[in-house]
């Protein structure tokens, strides 16, 4: 794997904090920054996935689906129920909600599940 270099400007105060923390952990500043970035990306990805899942569940509990309209996508998107990627040119369903102007994108599998539960 080829490694890339990222340059950034930081304040003297931030540099001093990094330097002290690196010395305390007995690593270089570069290694400390690399670890912080990698850990932050992993954590933020997990947090976003949890939030997305909770929002999807909340959306679907609060508002009944009034109906569906099948469309052909002009850009890539995801199913609002399962998070599955759906490519441009594919068919997907727009779900119209009873008490909201918001429309959800729903893949065929999730549409079938929703119709079976209704």
The full set of domain ranges for the chain reads: 12-56, 64-117
**pLDDT averaged per 10 residues in sequence order, the chain, 118 residues:** 86 94 94 90 76 65 81 93 92 88 90 82
Instruction: Please tell me the distance from the alpha carbon of residue 44 to that of residue 47, in angstroms, as a whole number.
Output: 5
End-to-end CA distance of the chain: 50
The pTM of the full predicted model, rounded to 2 decimals, is 0.48
The order of strands in the sheet holding 91-97 is: 65-72, 91-97, 103-106
Measured torsion, CA atoms of residues 113, 47, 98, 110, in degrees rounded to the nearest 10 = -20
Instruction: Please tell me the distance from the alpha carbon of residue 101 to that of residue 103, in angstroms, as a whole number.
Output: 6
pLDDT score at 60: 57
pLDDT score at 115: 82
pLDDT score at 6: 86
Measured torsion, CA atoms of residues 3, 42, 19, 24, in degrees rounded to the nearest 10 = -120
DSSP 54-94: HHHHHHHHHS-EEEEEEEE-SS-EE-TTT--EE-TT-EEEE
């Amino acid at each position: 794997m080829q490694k890339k270099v990222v340059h950034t400007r930081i304040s003297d105060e931030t540099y001093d904090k990094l330097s002290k923390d690196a010395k305390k952990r007995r690593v270089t500043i570069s290694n400390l920054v690399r670890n912080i970035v990698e850990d932050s990306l992993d954590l933020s990805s997990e947090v976003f996935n949890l939030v997305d899942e909770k929002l999807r569940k909340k959306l679907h509990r609060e508002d009944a689906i009034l109906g569906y309209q099948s469309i052909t996508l002009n850009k890539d998107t995801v199913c609002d129920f399962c998070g599955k990627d759906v490519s441009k040119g594919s068919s997907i369903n727009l779900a119209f909600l009873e008490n909201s102007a918001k429309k959800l994108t729903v893949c065929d599998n999730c549409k079938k599940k929703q119709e079976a539960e209704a």
